[in-house]
Amino acid sequence: MDLIIRRLKLKNIRSYDEGEISFPTGAVLFEGDIGSGKSTILLAIEFALFGLGNEKGTSLLSLGRNEGEVELEFEARGKIVKVHRGLVRSRKRGGVTQEDCWIEMDGRRYVLSPTEMKEMMLNILGYNEPVDPKAKSIIFRYAIYTPQEEMKEILNRPVDERLQTIRKALRLEDYKIARDNALTVSKGLRFYARQFMEEEKRLPDLEKEKKELILKKEETAKKIEDLENKLSDVEISIKGIESELEVLMREMEKLAGEAKRGEELERTMEDYNKKLKILKNQVNFDRQKSNSLKKERDEILKLLIKPEKELKVIEEELNRARVEIKAILGEVARKEHLLSTYKSLVERKICPTCNQRVDHEEFLSKIEKLEKEYEEINRRKKELELKIEWLESMKKMAEDYDRNSTKLKSLEDNISTIEDRIAKDENELMELSKKIEVLQEKLRISKEAAMEYKSKKLEFEKINDDLKRLREERRILENEKIKRLADLEKFQFRINEIEREMEKIKDRITKGRRLMEYVIWLEECFAPALEKIESTIFRDANREFSEEFSRLFSFMVEDPTKSVMVDEQFTPIVIQESYEQEISNLSGGERTALALAFRLALNKIVQKRAGIEGGLLIMDEPTDGLSKEQIGKIGDLIKELMLNQVIIVSHERELEGAVDYIFRVQKENGKSKIIPAKV
């Protein structure tokens, strides 16, 4: 069982908005009026299996719709397969393209491009044919389903076109293509073989050039040997001079070190002299400073008088005296006020407060007593003022003593510091003078080394000039040697190149001879063998076809006086009573029977060649022009073909008795519907 259709689902395909058909096995009839949408079912099945081919998407997508789809479920080679293809109208370009394409098998869904879909579908069905997304399946078109118009046309086409169609259906074109390709390859191989063998003429010239190059190579090798001898002599001289220069260089380096050290010594001597001068100036300055400070110290010593009491004691006594005099001043003021008041009372004789008469004697006694007390307080006041004055002078003397003592100590410290610095600087001056003496001796030695360095340098430059001359001579010899070696390498490279080229030519000659053997085999063996195989297969197919064609026609047309066959070019021949009859003289029903027999015979042969016998057959309007009696025989014909599933599309109701299942296709308001009528 190779291919059984199980279910077809349509959406926006031609006149179908939506539709779904479950296909049973056995003979299935889709009947309906012309234009009702029957053929759309067959086109949808082919589209689902193999894509658009050379058709345009606009021929399938419903008018006014932007999207459509076909989903087909079938059984092939023991597996249930579901395939889906979508159609989408491009708004910009207006064309229709395939989208949302997938195949579902063994529980897995494969989303693929249209080309990948075609390739996988051919693998699933086992159709051995090239993958061409812009063409229908040849095996399907001729073994399973061929539109009735195409089968009628095949009888009316010129012989060459009909023969080409038959060859294509039987896939005999592969042999012709293989033969043509073999001859094309043979032609190309012959061209290359001649080219390869033509190169044999170049071998003598290459052999001559090789001998000349070998001679040049030997001459160049002799020149290189002479150059190497000269280079050896120059190299020995260079090494002797380099050794001499190396000894001289070491001596110069030592002298240069001494000379360079002399420069450092000069700088050190300059630094020492500067330092010596600075130290002398510093010592002189410090001595002057010390003498000045000593004079200032002596002046302070003359003025330095130690007070009787310490400053702290004097300040304490001064503070007590000031407190005491402050109290006395307050008492003096109070007594002055009382004296003034008493004297006023005595003069007035009446108390201004109580308006009583004042006792003159009593107040005079008080005034006298106050005056004595007042005099005593004034005396004490004067004593304290004198004491404060003396204490303040003593304080000033103590402050001067402390200040001068501090200044004197500072002067003594400064003098001591300066004297220490003078002593240190004088010691440093002595050390520096000794170092200068040593440096002067070293400078003398360094100057002698510098003079000797100049002498050695002149000797070095003279010898180095000789070395440069020799090195230049060596460079020239080496360059000459390099040039000769390059020539030698060039000669050897060309010799190798010639040898390789000669080997290649010999290989090409061998290859050319081998190619000519291939040419002879292709032209005299392979191509004739293909032609013979093709001819044998064609004759066998022609014989089988003729037998099947004759059998089927006799089954359809019960006229013992008439028989049919095909000639070598598959042209139908009608024989009536041993005479060949023109097809145009046949009745309409006989011509339809002839076309149907031709079609079914071709289906049978193609199925047999493709190895898919006993599967599916699709018949599109097979009864056009047949009589009722002939239509009645369709059922017997179907049984005789022993197929698992036959799908028939026809507007003839007479076929209802010939099938197992019937679906009616109706169109209402321009939309097609499918209605099961017989189950």
What average pLDDT score do residues 296-309 get?
76
Rounded to whole angstroms, the Cα distance separating 587 from 589 reads 5
Backbone angles phi, psi at 151, to 5 degrees: -70, -30
Q: For the segment 188-199, what is each residue's pLDDT rounded down to a tens digit? A: 888 888 887 887
Lookup result for tokens 């229709």: 96
Rounded to whole angstroms, the Cα distance separating 193 from 190 reads 5
Query: For residue 601, what is the enclosing H or E element?
Result: helix 588-610
Rounded to whole angstroms, the Cα distance separating 442 from 439 reads 5
Query: For residue 646, what is the enclosing H or E element?
Result: strand 645-650
By CB atoms closer than 10 A (0-12, 13-18, 19+), residue 659 is buried
Amino acid at 251: E
Structure tokens at 200: 């044999």
Backbone angles phi, psi at 80, to 5 degrees: -90, 125
Q: For the segment 72-120, what is each residue's pLDDT rounded down to a tens digit? A: 999 988 899 999 999 999 877 668 999 999 999 999 999 999 989 999 9
CB 248 within 8 A of CB 459: yes
What average pLDDT score do residues 227-250 get?
86
Rounded to whole angstroms, the Cα distance separating 141 from 61 reads 22
What value does the CA radius of gyration of the chain take, rounded to a whole number of Å?
71
**Residue 457 in 3-state DSSP?**
helix
Compute how many other C-beta atoms are within 10 angstroms of the C-beta atom of residue 75. Answer: 19
608 has pLDDT over 80: no
358 has pLDDT over 70: no
Rounded to whole angstroms, the Cα distance separating 574 from 567 reads 11
DSSP secondary structure string for all residues of 544-560: HHHHHHHHHHHHH---T
What is the pLDDT confidence band of residue 352, given thresholds at 50, 70 and 90? low
pTM of the predicted model as reported, rounded to 2 decimal places: 0.52
Rounded to whole angstroms, the Cα distance separating 678 from 27 reads 11
β-pair type (661-668, 108-111): unpaired
% of the chain at pLDDT higher than 90:
17
What pLDDT shows up at residue 31? 92
What pLDDT shows up at residue 1? 45
17 has pLDDT over 90: yes
β-pair type (645-650, 616-620): parallel
Rounded to whole angstroms, the Cα distance separating 457 from 438 reads 29
Q: For the segment 482-530, what is each residue's pLDDT rounded down to a tens digit? A: 998 998 899 889 889 988 888 888 888 888 888 888 888 988 888 888 8
DSSP secondary structure string for all residues of 463-518: HHHHHHHHHHHHHHHHHHHHHHHHHHHHHHHHHHHHHHHHHHHHHHHHHHHHHHHH
Cα distances (angstroms) measured from residue 593 to each of 334, 489, 554: 174, 88, 9
CB 541 within 8 A of CB 566: no
| More confident of the two residues 244 and 257 | 244
7 has pLDDT over 90: yes
Number of residues written out for the chain: 679
What pLDDT shows up at residue 270? 85
Q: For the segment 445-487, what is each residue's pLDDT rounded down to a tens digit? A: 887 777 877 888 888 888 888 888 888 988 998 898 899 899 8
Q: What is the per-residue burial (b if ≥16 Cβ within 10 Å, else e) of 525-563?
A: ebbeebeeebeeebeebbeebbebbbbbbbbbbeeeebb
SS (H, E, C) 139-170: HHHHHHECCHHHHHHHHHCCHHHHHHHHHHHC
Rounded to whole angstroms, the Cα distance separating 645 from 615 reads 6
What pLDDT shows up at residue 276? 84
Domain spanning 3-169+557-678, CATH class: alpha beta
By CB atoms closer than 10 A (0-12, 13-18, 19+), residue 442 is middle
